Amino acid sequence: MNIETSVNGLAVGTRPGMRVELSGAFAGLIGGVMMAIVGAALAIAIGDDLWKAPKLIATFVVSPDTVATPGFLAGPVVIGSLIHLALSTLFGIGFGILTTRIWNMPLSYGAPMVLGFVYGLAIWLIAYFIVLPIVNPLVLEIYAPAFLIQNLTYGLTTGLAYGVLRSLSGVGQSGNERDERGERRRAIGA
């Protein structure tokens, strides 16, 4: 058994396996890829440029003129996609820490998906109404309902992937459930 320290400074026993941060990173990456796929499908459905979202994201580091050029531009699309996936991974790590270390979320009854949905909605609200207007208003050119759907997809997918990854890594509902069962079996001689 590994010993980790929780946010409030208490020692917490965990099973060996994938750490919360690594599970969150992988889950966030999976959520980011699904978000990009849904975003591409929505862009095609509404008749928008398929590459607009990654080019808009790239305007954090490249000239905003790249968005005006229609179609695929390798540099801005790759840069925008990398920024998107990096942020998705970081938000996934945040999801893992928030739900497991702070809230001690169970992995059963669909809790990771429900909290993922709420997490995706919170990200959209904070990004769309607070962060993006200050940091990069050009990204607000993404159609708002499509951007909301993408963020909800991110949250649901991240929650689902996180729950699966944590379950596969041998962690029970509270992180200690499997240890307790093992100790009970040893105590009764089974």
Report pLDDT digits (tens) over 116-142.
999 999 999 999 999 999 988 888 888
34 pLDDT band, cuts 50/70/90, is very high
Q: Is residue 24 part of a domain?
A: no
Q: Is residue 177 part of a domain?
A: no
Q: Is residue 64 part of a domain?
A: yes
* Structural domain boundaries enclosing 130: 32-167
* Cα(92)–Cα(88) distance, integer angstroms: 6
Q: Is residue 67 part of a domain?
A: yes
Helix axes 74-96, 20-45, angle to 10 degrees: 130
pLDDT tens digits, 64-101: 887 788 888 889 999 999 999 999 999 999 999 999 88
* Cα torsion angle, 137, 148, 154, 24, sign: positive
Domain count, the chain: 1
Global pTM reads 0.78
Q: Is residue 15 part of a domain?
A: no
Residue with tokens 């499908």: 41
Q: Is residue 172 part of a domain?
A: no
Are 182 and 171 spatial neighbours (Cβ–Cβ below 8 Å)?
A: no
Q: Is residue 66 part of a domain?
A: yes
Q: Is residue 185 part of a domain?
A: no
Among 125, 131, 120, which Cα is nearest to 27's? 120
